[in-house]
Structure 1
Amino acid sequence: MTSDGRPRRLDLDRSIDDEILLRTVPGAVDYLFEELRTFSGAEVRVVARRRDALQLSYRGTLRPLAAIRYFDTAAICLYPDPDRRVRESTERGVLAALTGDSPQIQFRVGDLGEARWDIRDQFEADPHWHNSAGNWDINVVDSPGGLVGEVGELYLTERFGALLRAPASTNPVIGAVMVRLAKIEDGQTVLDPFCGAGTLLVLAGEMAKPGLLIGGDVQSSWARAARTNVHSRGLDGSLLNVDAQRLPFPNGSIDRIIANMPFGKRVGTHKHNIQMYPAALGEISRVMTPRGRAVLLTEDKRLFRETVQRTPLLRVIKEILLERGGAHPSAYVVVKRGNSRAVQR
Structure 2
Amino acid sequence: MVDRLLQHCHDIGAPALTNIRRTSDSVLFDFDGTLDQLLPLRMFSTLSVVLDESEHAREDGFADALAGLTESAEHGVIARLSGPPAYRVDDIEGRGVLIEGVGARLGWQNDPRAWDVNISEHGRFVLAEIGAMHRSRRYPKLHRIPASVNPVVGSLLVQLAKPEADDTVYDPFCGSGTLLTEVAAIGKGALFLGTDIAQKALGVARLNLEPLGKPYLLAQARAEALPLPAQSVDRVISNMPFGKRVGSHQVNSLLYPRFLGELARVLRPKGRAVLLTEDKRLFQQAVQETRRIRVIKEVQVTSGGLHPTAYVVEYTQKSRRMDRRKKRLGER
Report the TM-score when normalising by structure 1: 0.85
What fraction of aligned residue pairs are identical, expressed as a percent?
42
Following the alignment from structure 1 to structure 2, what is the Cα–Cα distance between the partners of residues 130 and 117?
15
Is 1:320 paired with 2:299? yes
Within the candidate set 82, 86, 105, 1:106 is matched to: 86
Counterpart contact for 1:290–1:339, Cα < 8 Å: no
Following the alignment from structure 1 to structure 2, what is the Cα–Cα distance between the partners of residues 75 and 245?
45
Larger radius of gyration: 2
Q: Cα distance, 1:201 vs. partner?
A: 0.5
Is 1:254 paired with 2:233? yes
Is 1:74 paired with 2:47? yes
Deviations 1:238-278 (A, max 9, x none): 11111111101111212110000011111111121111111
- Tell me the amino acid that sits aligned with residue 36 of structure 1: C
- Tell me the amino acid that sits aligned with residue 43 of structure 1: A
Within the candidate set 132, 140, 153, 1:153 is matched to: 132
CA pair 325-313 structure 1, distance change in 2 beyond 3 A: same
Following the alignment from structure 1 to structure 2, what is the Cα–Cα distance between the partners of residues 98 and 212?
36
**SS of the residue 1:306 aligns to:** helix
CA pair 339-178 structure 1, distance change in 2 beyond 3 A: farther
Deviations 1:202-247 (A, max 9, x none): 1112224322110011101111111221121112111111111110
- Tell me the amino acid that sits aligned with residue 250 of structure 2: K
Counterpart contact for 1:42–1:61, Cα < 8 Å: no
Is 1:85 paired with 2:68? yes
Following the alignment from structure 1 to structure 2, what is the Cα–Cα distance between the partners of residues 269 and 78?
46
Following the alignment from structure 1 to structure 2, what is the Cα–Cα distance between the partners of residues 228 and 42?
40
Q: Cα distance, 1:141 vs. partner?
A: 0.8
Match of 2:222 in 1: 243
Match of 1:124 in 2: 103
Within a 5 Å distance, the mapping from 1:286-301 to structure 2 comes to 286-301=265-280
Within a 5 Å distance, the mapping from 1:53-64 to structure 2 comes to 53-64=26-37
- Structure 1 outlier segments of 4+, above 3 Å: none
Is 1:44 paired with 2:17? yes
CA pair 42-164 structure 1, distance change in 2 beyond 3 A: farther
Counterpart contact for 2:145–2:201, Cα < 8 Å: yes
Answer 1 or 2: which has greater helix percent: 2
Deviations 1:138-165 (A, max 9, x none): 1111012311011111112212331111
CA pair 135-207 structure 1, distance change in 2 beyond 3 A: closer
Following the alignment from structure 1 to structure 2, what is the Cα–Cα distance between the partners of residues 147 and 227?
41
Is 1:96 paired with 2:79? yes
CA pair 142-170 structure 1, distance change in 2 beyond 3 A: same
Following the alignment from structure 1 to structure 2, what is the Cα–Cα distance between the partners of residues 133 and 237?
38
Following the alignment from structure 2 to structure 1, what is the Cα–Cα distance between the partners of residues 160 and 318?
16
Deviations 1:111-164 (A, max 9, x none): 22x433333333233252332222222111101231101111111221233111
**SS of the residue 1:118 aligns to:** helix
Q: Cα distance, 1:47 vs. partner?
A: 4.6
Counterpart contact for 2:190–2:214, Cα < 8 Å: no
Following the alignment from structure 1 to structure 2, what is the Cα–Cα distance between the partners of residues 284 and 272?
18
- Tell me the amino acid that sits aligned with residue 242 of structure 2: F
Following the alignment from structure 2 to structure 1, what is the Cα–Cα distance between the partners of residues 108 and 228?
58
Q: Cα distance, 1:299 vs. partner?
A: 0.8
Unaligned regions of 5+ residues in structure 1, if any? Answer: 1-27
Following the alignment from structure 1 to structure 2, what is the Cα–Cα distance between the partners of residues 248 and 197?
19
Between stretches 331-340 and 227-236, larger displacement belongs to 331-340
